[in-house]
Chain A
Amino acid sequence: MSVLLDIRGVTRRYPRPRKQLFHHEEALVAVDNVTVQITQGRTLGIVGESGSGKSTLARMVMAFEAPDEGEVLFEGKNIHALGKRELQALRPEFQMIFQDPFGSLDPRRSVGWSVAQPLRAAGMKPDQALILKTLEQVGLRAADIDRFPHEFSGGQRQRIAIARAIVTRPKLLVADEAVSALDVSVRAQILNLLMDLQDEMGLGILFISHDLAVVSSLCDDLLVLRNGVVVEQGLAGDILNNPGHEYTHTLLTAAQLELQGEHAA
């Protein structure tokens, strides 16, 4: 399978506020020299806690911000070296879904309008048949096209957000804590949907979460981030069966259902 996304030695620093007038504060290294690849049809999971740099990495992959060092290649093209127009033309190929589907959908616009937005942004004509097909793919009904976000439950709103992300038929989907706000039973539905879409469309997925159990249900490859530094990376199965770092072990403990007492399974 071909390499879809090639993240090469990416570093991102943020300046820290000065505490004293002539004091020079050292920059905060949000992401420190991360190298990883995503191939077509596979899922890379990135786990870490708050401040680990996982969302910063996602923003760089989406070209919302540029790295201070290193480069991000999408199908061989350095996305941060592209001109505005070239980037706009490439955007339909990589799309993103967020944690809070309510915050990311315009409450005054119909579902059909929101789902068509990435097409308009790329200068394409919104095609009614394509939008209906996409709604069907994510398990929504054709009649939902004229309804508004507040008429849907949290899980259904996340389906709308996924429909919007796949309407351009992207090759890469970036999901940042996409199921974290959902209830357990709804979360299972959305995780299954992502796996179905991946099989159907051959998507590469970058799946970011703080919950190692969720990541493990979906991912082929895994990268554990802590304070911007890669703690472990490799095949998800290898890391989960034999965590090589104490930090990974803590994440495992937190995610696992441990039953104490005589009746424990």
Chain B
Amino acid sequence: MENIETAKHYQFSIKFKNSLPWLIPVFLILIWQVACNASWVNETLLPSPIDVVTNGVKLFKKGELQENMSISLYRATAGLLIGGGLGFILGFINGVSHTARLLFDSTIQMLRNIPHLALIPLIILWLGIGESAKISLVALGCLFPMYINTYHGITSVDPKLIEMGKSYELSKKDLFTKIIFPGALPTILMGLRYALGVMWTSLIVAETISASSGIGYMSTNAEQFLDMKTIILCILIYALLGKLSDFIAKNFEDIFLNWRVIERGQSNDSKASGNN
């Protein structure tokens, strides 16, 4: 009897723990809805969540929402692949070669802090107003977090481990695939996680360059005509897409870094996920 009780209790506590991350968002939305129903806020300035969702359903039925979302997803993914890839390569080269580091690093650090909005005129001038302009802006955004983390990951691998590899007479290739890369991987994946976040924020800016499609276009267009329902819908979509990409990145970490989870052993995190 007691066993069943504790099992039940255990299950309950897992369920509770799994729902904990959603508690604040749900709570906020509830308050928001109540505030709208009780007309504490002006509905033209802050439409209720239900209005926002019905507006979303309406746009979905018209086919506008899916189209804009898939176009945005295409731009985001292409930008991430190009920018993230370049960032990884640069970070890798600079991590391994001291000469390359001296040559590239300070330039990249200078470029890193230029705000996207300031770059728009230049990008229009060089790349025009087509898809390539939008994608390159996203790529530029994704490049830096990937670069910094790859570079940092590779340079901060424990030198004792490299020393050990050398004393086992590992070849250069083995040294890299068995020690340096796995050692740098947690930081690199962290960079991917950052890049995924930057990807969405860059996209909003990118989609103000003569766009006639995409979520960023939808929201700037709605801004122009003060269509609060669509503005808030776009904000919610961004939030959800951000959460989704973070979720994927986190799972990447779990899959590729399984040795790390085992090391941690009986930590709370792995217990919870192990019982899902």
* B partners with A: no
Instruction: Name A residues whose Cβ lies closer than 8 Å to a Cβ of B.
Output: none
Instruction: Name B residues whose Cβ lies closer than 8 Å to a Cβ of A.
Output: none
